[in-house]
Chains A and B, each alone.
Chain A
Amino acid sequence: MATPAEFDEMMKSGDLIESRNEMTPDYLKELKHTLIVSGDTELISAPAYYLAAKRAPSINAFMTGIAIIQDELAHAHIAYHILEELGEDQEKLIFSRDPKSFRYPYAFDVPLESWTELVVANGMYDQAGFCLLGDIHEKCSYGPWKRGLNKVMAEENFHLRNGRTWMKRISLAGGSAKDDLQRAVDWMFPLSVEWFGLPDSLKMHSAQLEYRLKGLTNDQLRQWWLSLVVPYCEQIGIKVPSHKETRDGKDVWELDYPFPCEFDAEEKRWDFKQPISWDDVLERWRNRGPRNAEMVAMFQEEFHKFRNAHHQNGS
Chain B
Amino acid sequence: MSDSTTPEPDASPPPGPPEPVSLRVATGPLAGPVLNRVASMVLARAQCPLDRFDDALILCDAISAHAPAHVRDSHLVYTLTAEERAIELRVAELRTGGAAGLMDDALLPDVGNVIERYSDSRRVEPASDGGGEELILTIDFA
Q: Do A and B bind each other?
A: no
